[in-house]
A and B are shown apart, each in its own frame.
Chain A
Amino acid sequence: MALEYYLVLSALLFTTGVIGVLIRRNAIIIFMCIELMLNAANLAFVAISRSLGEATGQVFVFFVMTVAAAEVAIGLAIIVSVFKHRQTINVDEVNSLKG
């Protein structure tokens, strides 16, 4: 199975994640899309690792997963806080940065 199919699949998954971030307004779904992007990157890592016969790519996947876990924990805690304050997690309504 050629490497390029995996890379194309990875690109498609990543793009799906990007589009999701751009068009969805629910903070939790935006968050899921970020996980999607991380996974797409992981797929590319593993595919290239296999193609090169190197273990390093998989080590990186391991790091990505750890960081993602930490990120999810913090991010969800923030979402909960925001919801308690504003009774919403619609990112359009959380616009205190408006100049």
Chain B
Amino acid sequence: MSIELIVVLLVAPLVGFLINGLFGKWLKGSEKLSGWIGALAVLVSLVCSIIVFASLHGGAAPFDETLYEWITGESFAFNIGFHVDALTAVMLLVITGVGFLIHVYSIGYMHGDEGYTRYFAYLNLFVFAMLILVLGNNYLMMFVGWEGVGLCSYLLIGFWYDKQSATDAGKKAFIMNRIGDFGFLLGMFTLFAAFGTLDFGTIFDAAEADNFQKVFGASTLVIATLLLFVGAIGKSAQIPLYVWLPDAMEGPTPVSALIHAATMVTAGVYMIARSAVLYEIAHTGQVVAWIGVLTAFFAATIALTQNDIKRILAYSTVSQLGYMFVGVGVGAYASGIFHLVTHAFFKGLMFLTAGSVMHAMANELDMRKMGGLKSKMPITHWTFLVGALAIAGFPFLSGFWSKDEILHSAWGSSPIIYGIGLVTAFLTAFYMFRLIFVTFYGESRVDSEVASHLHESPPVMWVPLAILAIPSALIGLLLGWGGHDSWFHHFTKSVFPDAHHDASGNVIVFMVISSVVGLAGIAFAWRRYSKRVPSDEPTGALHRLLTNKYYVDEVYNTLIVQPVKNGSQFLLWKLVDNGIIDGIVNGVAALIRFVGGLLRRLQTGLVQAYIISMVLGIVLFLAYYLFFT
């Protein structure tokens, strides 16, 4: 492993971005070329990632090197430096692997779109920013990537910028992320104040040496880690900042798959896993775990009643991210990251299949208008089924392994968290199979006009689906066999501090419980929805509450958005801006105009008036000179 390899890995998507971004105008004629340039750029990164992974797997030492000094001051220095260890390698494989397949899929999905080259430019820029996020060896570089992916997320959610709802969703995501990023920034400042550097290695070593009580005393790390977690809450859509993610489904579906399911939203999980040492010392993992499990449960209940397939997947993502936070929160960092990996595959897969359904259904998203798609779109159906089984925890599929590990670790930490997690697992299986039964089975409720050209998607779209389906199904078995003793745990063991919550109880028992719960959810969904369609009108108060997503958006709107708007309009705009600032500006102008009006009378235009004043001046001057000096 050499620094050149890392640079190539990092820069390839940037080159793709520059080609598509700068010369997109000339590529418009041949949109295939533009798409393949984007995909090729990520493929180069993928190959490099595989080399990196292979070398680490072969026993190479973690790589940490500085490329050059970025900002240097008397007492501080920030470097562009890379840190590559097992955790980075896993993230690299997820980002570039899933990213590459989604690029290929997009070539077909975005066919004929007005902003084709712009789309691939943004997508490549996103991959570049995400790579910076995971490759950096200090918090500042992580923050650069963190902001970069936020920007690309904003650009891609609002990709169809002539649609009001899309631009609104983009702004919502951006503002919600800003709130989180503010916390992240404060966390960075705290760390810098305490350690005088932002380098991972230096900070972690100093923290372990108890050398951190400089800013807030013993609670320095508690405050720093909680502030960093605020950043993660924003980026990874946890309570209370999760509301942007369901709205982010306004963007193109492959974007939802890549950014809002597989990679960007997991940045928070990655950040906590990377900072595991700090969270261990500060004992703030419990907060993380609780926020995670509550989000998981909360989002799963909302997903029960939604009818928009992409929104169900979005709430499901929020819910699964909650699981990941439970994992890293209870100290099972490897399990959290393991769930991140499996989730990236099966959730990416499900988003892409949802995109395939949309593609065939003329952008219809309401599953009440679908039904019976199984026969028309067999590949889409089977791949979706694989993803759904995986997320539902069907035995031996990937979600089963990762979720089970997290729940097992949670039991060791707090049985309550375990209980809520288990209920959430049941809900997850239920709403996923509700989606499957309503969409793919039963009577067809498709409009006759749409039904006439209902078809399976082209190969450029279904091939990535098929390829993604394989790891979605099997990766858990391959990497996770053996639970806490699995290959994945061995591979990442060097990165994380030893889990101090010893897994208690028999692993097999937990596996059986999880499986039973998952299967129960599937069965329950089959009983309820295999023959029936969700009713249009909510029945009962609870149902109405869930359909309206607990009115969280409305509450935020009333408590925060409207007061800010009113304050801006009446206080800041009408009073401060119009009254005071404009008043001062206009007042100065009016004063000068008034004085000018007075002075103007002196300019009579009569030569003799001027001469008289001149002579008067001479007379007065002479008088002063002669009689007063």
Contacts and interface: CB of A to CB of B under 8 A. Distances in A.
Q: Is A in direct contact with B (CB under 8 Å) within the complex?
A: yes
Interface of A: 18, 21-23, 25, 91-92, 94-99
Interface stretch (B239-247, B427-435, B600-608): B600-608
A18 B619 CA distance: 12
A32 to B, nearest CB: 15
A18 B615 contact: yes
B626 interface: no
Closest 10 CB pairs of A and B: A98-B605, A99-B603, A95-B605, A99-B600, A97-B605, A91-B607, A95-B606, A21-B611, A92-B606, A22-B612
B605 A22 contact: no
A95 B604 contact: yes
A25 B605 CA distance: 13
A5 B600 CA distance: 45
B615 A96 contact: no
A29 to B, nearest CB: 12
A96 B615 CA distance: 22
A99 B615 contact: no
A97 B603 CA distance: 7
Contact of B604 (A21, A94, A98): A98
A21 B607 CA distance: 10
A75 B599 CA distance: 30
Max count, chain B CB within 10 A of own CB: residue among A22, A97, A99: A99
Interface string B296-315: 00000000000000000000
A94 B604 CA distance: 11
11 contacts: A18-B615, A22-B611, A22-B612, A22-B615, A91-B608, A96-B605, A98-B603, A98-B606, A99-B599, A99-B600, A99-B601
Nearest to A98: B605
Contacts of B603: 97-99
Given A22-B612, A23-B608, A99-B603, 15 more contacts: A22-B611, A22-B615, A91-B606, A91-B607, A91-B608, A92-B606, A92-B608, A94-B607, A95-B606, A96-B605, A98-B603, A98-B605, A98-B606, A99-B602, A99-B605
A44 B605 CA distance: 34
What range describes how many residues of B lie at the interface? Answer: 10 to 19
Nearest to A27: B607
A21 B614 CA distance: 12
A92 B605 CA distance: 8
Contacts of A98: 603-606
Interface in B587-616: 599-608, 611-612, 615
Contacts of A18: 615
Contacts of B599: 99
Contacts of A25: 608
Contacts of B607: 91, 94
A11 to B, nearest CB: 12
A95 B604 CA distance: 7
A95 B605 CA distance: 4
A18 B608 CA distance: 11
Nearest to A25: B608
B594 to A, nearest CB: 15
A25 B599 CA distance: 25
Contacts of B606: 91-92, 95, 98
B602 to A, nearest CB: 7
Contacts of A23: 608
A97 B602 CA distance: 11
Nearest to B612: A22
B225 to A, nearest CB: 72
A15 to B, nearest CB: 10
Contacts of A96: 605
Contacts of A91: 606-608
Nearest to B602: A99
Contacts of A21: 608, 611
A98 B612 CA distance: 16
A98 B615 CA distance: 20
Interface in B547-593: none
Nearest to A23: B608
A22 B600 contact: no
A25 B608 CA distance: 8
A82 to B, nearest CB: 12
A63 to B, nearest CB: 23
Interface in B405-445: none
Contacts of A22: 608, 611-612, 615
A95 B607 CA distance: 8
A22 B615 CA distance: 9
Contacts of B612: 22
Contacts of B604: 95, 98
A95 to B, nearest CB: 3
Nearest to B596: A99
A93 to B, nearest CB: 10
Contacts of A95: 604-606
A18 B616 CA distance: 11
